[in-house]
Chain A
């Protein structure tokens, strides 16, 4: 039997740093599953160190100018896949148009990991407890995938299947993410997470975004739970439950209870499935309340 060792030096690989997206896609189509893209590397490099990932080819997309944009375009904030987390944290357009992302980012790792980690990298890595994928799902973002034959789009809500398993094909590169911007004046959002230490993977996370009309009735609502299903779990059913109604305490409680029934948590070293389900309900309650309060503070236009 061949040995699995306690490795911390990566297995050998060929390295290419590409200067165009087309180049990257060409390499991916040539090498398929033997090639991996590296952007921030904050998730990939540890896996390679432990030899859990051992691509024969590493394609470095850090220098692709094509993937570094942050711009508002057609009711969406369009973020290039290799935009660093620290960049989007400070970007004025992002702060203004995507407050939910901004709230999420303070939970993402530490200062140093956000200096290198990318928005796209977090999405493609697909840790079910990661914050950025959850925001993408909750806001129903569109992911634009590029390969040698062209571009395709997939909804974030259809992208994540299982931990680290997504709809991306080996020859595809995530190019940009289009986060829908809600145009409501009375917009509120909240992101909450329970982890054991600050900066750890979430045991469970939740985020909510609500828009209210002048009378305080909900015109749009979105809720999602992370870390409590095999994928970041947007709950449009709950959004539907809340839309058109006044978000009073009882409705929010019912929504949170309903949310807790929709998720599918696992148990591990740090939390049982029951604990996660409990946290999911409690966090759903908290974020819905906080998002509603946040929205109520705002004046109707």
Chain B
């Protein structure tokens, strides 16, 4: 007797994705294991580290704290969806490369999701506002310094008209 499956249909990175999943499958496991979008990472599964951050209906959330079945009809954007369709990095992603705002890359998708959400609502954030926006994303490699630099650089570049 196998586990009961529930239908779920949600838009992920602009594409409608439909599946039948166990109710206890979290959104992050759905993204990674069912949809094979492995850019979103699992760090703690109890909502603290932020490595699992995705954009849900326009707002950054922890995907380990939701069950996939809850998101029927919703729209999710992952790090893969923040990359340009041709695979080239966005202005924000490029700024992370320019400022070397990462090392092992594990917290990076979550950091970029949080930064992206910040810049959407606050295009010229102060350092304090940047630190607050990424305050729920833990990093053990960078000490956050070059991440802050990256977000500031992205803000500058976007203001200069980079797309």
Instruction: Judge whether B24 and A9 touch: CB under 8 Å.
Output: yes
A60-B70, A199-B136 known; A115-B65 Cβ under 8 A: no
CB atoms of B24 and A10 under 8 A apart: yes
In the assembly, what is the distance between CA of A111 and CA of B50, in Å? 11
Closest to A198 in B: B135
Complex partner residue of A15 from B47, B65, B69, B135, CB under 8 angstroms: B69
Contact between A15 and B6 (Cβ–Cβ < 8 Å)?
A: yes
- Measured between beta carbons, the chain B residues less than 8 angstroms from A9 are 24
Q: Is the CB of B59 within 8 A of A41?
A: no
Verify if B114 is at the interface (C-beta below 8 Å from A): yes
Size range of the chain A interface in the assembly: 20 to 34
Provided the pairs A41-B66, A112-B53, A116-B61 are in contact, do residues A12 and B114 lie with their beta carbons within 8 angstroms? no
State the Cβ distance, B151 to closest chain A Cβ, in Å. Answer: 14
Q: Does B146 contact A (CB under 8 A)?
A: no
Complex interface: chain A residues within 8 A of B6 (CB): 15
CB distance from B74 to the nearest CB of A (A): 10
Nearest CB of chain A from residue B27's CB, rounded to whole Å = 10
Residues of A within 8 A of B46 (CB): 8, 46, 49-50
Rounded to whole angstroms, the CA-CA distance of A10 and B132 in the bound complex is 31
Q: How far is the CB of A84 from chain B (nearest CB, A)?
A: 9
Partner of A111, one of B3, B56, B64, B114: B114
Whether the pair A13, B24 counts as a contact (CB closer than 8 A) is yes
The distance from the CB of B87 to the nearest CB of chain A, in whole angstroms, is 27
Taking a contact as CB atoms under 8 Å apart, the answer to whether B24 and A12 are in contact is yes
- Chain A residues 39 to 69 lying within 8 A of chain B, measured CB to CB, are 41-42, 45-46, 48-50, 58, 60, 62
- Of chain A, the residue at the smallest CB distance from B60 is A112
Q: Is A271 located at the chain interface by the 8 A CB criterion?
A: no
CA distance A45 to B132 in the complex (A): 24
Contact indicator B59/A115 (Cβ below 8 Å): yes
CB proximity of A165 to chain B, nearest CB, Å: 21
Q: Taking the nearest CB of chain B, how far is it from the CB of A212, in angstroms? A: 32
Q: In which size bucket is the chain B interface?
A: 20 to 34
CA distance A48 to B70 in the complex (A): 15
Cα-based distance from A205 to B118 in the complex (angstroms): 28
In the bound complex, residues from chain B placing their C-beta under 8 Å from that of A113 are 47, 62, 65, 136
By beta carbon, the residue of chain A nearest B67 is A15
Question: Quick one: which of A11, A12, A111 has the most chain B CB within 10 A?
Answer: A111
Determine the residue in chain A with the shortest Cβ distance to B42: A8
* Cα–Cα, bound, A9→B114 (Å): 25
Q: Within 8 Å of chain A (Cβ to Cβ): is B23?
A: yes
How many angstroms between the C-alpha atoms of A86 and B60 in the bound complex? 11
- Asked if B23 contacts A14 (CB within 8 A), the reply is yes
User: Using an 8 Å CB-CB cutoff, how does the interface string of A184-226 with B read, 1 for contact, 0 for none?
Assistant: 0000000000000011000000000000000000000000000
Between-chain CB contacts (< 8 Å), 23 pairs: A12-B3, A12-B4, A15-B6, A15-B23, A38-B70, A41-B67, A45-B26, A45-B64, A46-B47, A49-B26, A60-B69, A60-B70, A62-B70, A109-B136, A110-B50, A110-B136, A111-B60, A111-B117, A111-B136, A112-B60, A115-B59, A116-B61, A116-B66
Give the interface of B toward A (CB within 8 A).
3-4, 6, 22-24, 26, 45-47, 50, 53, 56, 59-62, 64-67, 69-70, 72, 114, 117, 132-133, 135-136
A: residues with CB less than 8 A from B are 8-15, 17, 38, 41-42, 45-46, 48-50, 58, 60, 62, 86, 109-113, 115-116, 198-199
